[in-house]
Chain A
Amino acid sequence: MAEKPKVIEKPDVLEQPDILKPPAVAPLVTFPIEVVVPEVRQQTPAVGQRATRADGRLHGLGQTKYIDDMYFPNMLFAKIKRAGVASARIKSIDTKEAEAMPGVVAVITGSDIPCNSFGPSLKDQPVLADTRVFHAGDGVAAVAAVTEQIATEALEKIKVDYEVLTPVLDPLESLKLATPGVHAPSANIYGHKVIKKGDVEKAFAESDHVFEGSFRTQMVEHVPLEPYACIAQWDANGRVTIYSTLGRITLGRADVARTLGSRIRIVATVVGGNFGGKNEIRAEPAMALLSKKTGRPVKCVYTRAEEFTSSTTRHPLIMDYKTGVTKQGKILGRKIRLVLDGGAYCSWSETTLGKACILSAGPYNIENLYAEAFVVYTNKTMTGAMRGFGAPQVCFAYESHMDDIAKALGIDPLEIRLLNAFDEGSLSPTSQKLHSVVVKESLLRAAKRFGWNGIGNGTGNGNGA
């Protein structure tokens, strides 16, 4: 049992009257007025210097202003109602009760948006779902209220009547013709790419060994420290200024202008991490419309849950590899099939499909290659741009496969890579002549730095067991 606390006759806080000063404000952050510029920023020539970042000082002092720190007079706070069902037909949306709530200033739905579709390549993504829900994170209505709390409460008052449909969740199911179209009448396969070089079947016939492997990767999110955020401010001249966490404002302006048909200025603030997740617009058109409707600036900051379910993610891949090699480990031919789970919308799938397909053979000289890639719709969170655009997935496959081949042939993993790796002037899978190629240098340097001693190097029982 803890000791009974003593009764304090005179709270010692009274001896520190500063603490009681109302209102309770955080102490003023002070910083040195004399700014000492690090010498490395003042040296010439500038290239090659380990120059510190101009924004580092502000980050360190907590003075960087992110969107969540920005405020405009009369600003409203917006929240978006999420569908919560993966696939459904929207029969009706009733916003009356929410609109009647004290503190709620405006509510909009998809039908308020002049052109309710966007996307970097296929325009298959609604700003707010109006007739169909394609994944559980779809927005169906947006509320602007005087506080974030009231906006959140108002979401509960919005009644949506759904006809729930069976979702398509497995990309391999989606690939089959018999599976109902996620975006019917469009087909589920919305991207297809082939790279063909030499004669892969002939190469397999000439090979001493043919190896097969199948690999899968999962869906992950970018998890930036700062979730998606924006503030829209519609002015009396009909120009709208949008402060946003976007990583590509030129494209963002084109996309917002298409949905609203108005004059747009986009200012990207300091972004708290992107990793590809902020490469296209999200709620900007809805916020701009709320601002137009209310005549007041409107701010929207995604919750962590929304950042997961309602922004883009990394494509899960299903990868099948077949490789023919000589006894010495030289790759003669490789056949690859990739299936990308594209989620509910296209987003940057075409770019990811292209990069994954081109890179899937690895940094190796392979004269006979057949790589085929498909991307399919499923009723899951949309997949899009993410650091690597398909490359980490295929690298996991081609490098795991490479070690399996090395192991089976009794060749050191370093040796088999050096045997097959690109040289200066090598031809890529698309027959592009490569320049400034240093893959062998990187292998040798990493091996030297690490202390790689060849096979059986691991102290575990795996490698030689």
Chain B
Amino acid sequence: MKRRGRGMACMWYPIGFTVAANPSAAVVKVNEDGTATLLTGTVETGQGSLTILAQITAQELGIATDDVHVVSADTDATPMDTGAIASRTTYVTGNAARMAAEKAKLILFDVAAPLLGVKATQLEAQDHKIFVKGFPQRNMHIGDVANHARVVSGQPPIGSASFNPETLALDPETGQGKPFGTYVYATQIAEVDVDDETGEVEVLRVVASHDCGTAINPMLVEGQVEGGVAMGIGFALEEEMLFDANGRHINPNLTNYIVPTSLDTPEIEVDIVDSYDPTGPFGAKGVGEPTLVPTAAAIANAIYDAVGVRITSLPATAEKVFKALQAKREQQPKQIGTGAPPAAGASNNAAVQ
């Protein structure tokens, strides 16, 4: 019979490591047609990071996402970057891109100031225009300013910047110190059905409430969370590299190493927690890795809630859950209905290694 259970897990995850140098650099050029080009050494690995960087650059310059063309990932053409790792792109590369865009913008302000008859500090960039603060009708199109910068002022609007969250060593003995720039937090709650005759677990629903600072692009955050939960389900229930006694990997194929498919993916409800981190670009932190961190724990707790067996080793395959159920039945005297609650201590729960 299928038994339903619910389990929760929360987590924290660091963004922007500081125990080693962690720099990213960026170059932003504002073009004469009012568009901009961002040069970055980071790599688009499918997560949408180049769109996020375009949005950050566009925001700083007051133009739209589509106006920013991103050139990336060529060691000859783009500035150095520590890479698409450790959920750092939005936070570290994003800060570098924002700062580079700001420098290009300040050149545009210098060029536009005499034309608009004010000081550069009185200008603002928004909606493709550079305008006087409080007097939006006194404005110039950003492309016209960039063109003027080229043909009249001789000040090409190009900005370059780098960002490195301050590198700090930890105390070698106690490990005390500040190892990361900031942290994100999340909670996931899973609902599962466990078949108490076969041990098979089906994940029905996952609610994922994630903090990423400002969501630069809520759709891409949702994409990351959905992908992370799917990966977490594989980690929780299916995937395992197995080795024989001689140390040879025996399931190096997708027939015997099972990854979740769309049919294994439950309804995933993504909730983005309002938060703002003053150290990130426009308050953003990151979201890539944390999305799969609590999934397996939430599922394991849901299995316990459903059938009362504690899975202490992953993955919780049907075979493993079945064996745990068997061990639990052997431990308990046969009874009808619900018995007395077990005594305190996790060790009383049926466990399986």
Contact = CB atoms under 8 A, between A and B. Distances in A.
Interface in B148-185: 170, 173-180, 182-183, 185
B292 to A, nearest CB: 6
21 contacts: A46-B55, A49-B217, A55-B50, A86-B248, A209-B344, A221-B239, A266-B74, A267-B75, A275-B231, A351-B86, A359-B13, A396-B297, A400-B304, A400-B310, A417-B10, A422-B12, A435-B182, A442-B210, A446-B189, A450-B191, A461-B307
Contacts of B301: 399-400, 403, 413
Given A55-B44, A209-B344, A395-B293, A44 B246 contact: no
Contact of A50 (B211, B217, B278): B217
B276 A436 contact: yes
A159 interface: no
Contacts of A220: 234-235, 239-241
Contact of B275 (A209, A309, A438): A438
A231 to B, nearest CB: 14
Contact of B273 (A197, A267, A445, A458): A445
Interface stretch (B76-84, B105-113, B132-140): B76-84
Contacts of A429: 175
Given A46-B54, A363-B10, A388-B292, 13 more contacts: A53-B48, A55-B50, A217-B314, A220-B234, A354-B19, A363-B12, A380-B249, A396-B296, A399-B10, A405-B346, A458-B302, A460-B306, A465-B341
Contact of A51 (B19, B219, B345): B219
B130 interface: no
A219 B242 CA distance: 8
B5 A458 contact: yes
Q: Which 4 A-B residue pairs are closest in the complex by CB-CB distance? A: A248-B83, A86-B247, A404-B346, A460-B3
Contacts of B58: 44, 46
Contacts of A270: 44
Interface in B215-252: 215-220, 228, 231-232, 234-235, 239-241, 243, 245-249, 251-252
Interface of B: 3-14, 17, 19, 41, 43-46, 48, 50-51, 54-56, 58-59, 62-66, 68, 70, 72-76, 80-86, 126-128, 170, 173-180, 182-183, 185-189, 191, 194, 205, 207-211, 213-220, 228, 231-232, 234-235, 239-241, 243, 245-249, 251-254, 257, 259, 269, 271, 273-279, 282, 285, 288-290, 292-298, 300-302, 304-315, 338-339, 341, 344-347, 349, 353
A457 interface: yes
Interface in A434-448: 434-439, 441-443, 445-447
Contacts of A452: 6, 8, 189
Given A54-B54, A218-B313, A461-B3, A193 B219 contact: no
Given A46-B63, A250-B81, A436-B213, A221 B241 contact: yes
B214 A47 contact: yes
A18 B167 CA distance: 66
Contacts of A398: 297
A414 B3 CA distance: 21
B11 A363 contact: yes
A456 to B, nearest CB: 9
Contacts of A47: 55-56, 59, 214, 216, 282
Given A41-B64, A220-B239, A438-B185, A430 B178 contact: yes
B10 A48 contact: no
A249 B344 contact: no
Contacts of B305: 457-458, 460, 462-463
A97 interface: no
A185 to B, nearest CB: 21
A211 B346 contact: yes
A425 interface: no
Nearest to B236: A396
A135 interface: yes
Given A247-B45, A304-B253, A400-B297, A430 B12 contact: no
Given A357-B175, A404-B310, A445 B63 contact: no
Contact of B75 (A87, A167, A266): A266
Nearest to A37: B66
Contacts of B338: 461, 464-465
Contacts of A443: 8, 10, 187, 209
Contacts of B234: 220
B85 A248 contact: yes
Nearest to A305: B252
B9 A399 contact: yes
A195 B174 contact: yes
A161 interface: no
Contacts, number: 439
B275 A450 contact: no
A218 B73 contact: no
- Output the residue of B70, B249, B347 with the most chain A CB within 10 A: B249
A218 B239 contact: yes
Interface string A310-351: 000110000000000000000000000000000000000001
A363 to B, nearest CB: 4
A443 to B, nearest CB: 5
A276 interface: yes
A385 interface: yes
A313 B239 CA distance: 12
B44 A84 contact: no
Contact of A430 (B80, B177, B347): B177
A216 interface: yes
B14 A355 contact: yes
Nearest to B191: A450
Given A430-B176, A449-B269, A438 B252 contact: no
Contacts of A449: 207, 209, 269, 271
B128 A44 contact: yes
A96 B276 CA distance: 64
A390 to B, nearest CB: 10
A169 B179 contact: no
A426 to B, nearest CB: 10
B165 to A, nearest CB: 12
A308 interface: yes
Contact of A308 (B179, B218, B257): B257
B344 A409 contact: yes
Given A51-B51, A86-B248, A388-B292, A436 B312 contact: no
Nearest to A359: B12
A286 interface: no
Contacts of B314: 216-218, 396
A264 interface: yes
Given A46-B64, A248-B81, A274-B84, A446 B249 contact: no
Contacts of B41: 249-250
A77 B324 CA distance: 50
A279 interface: yes
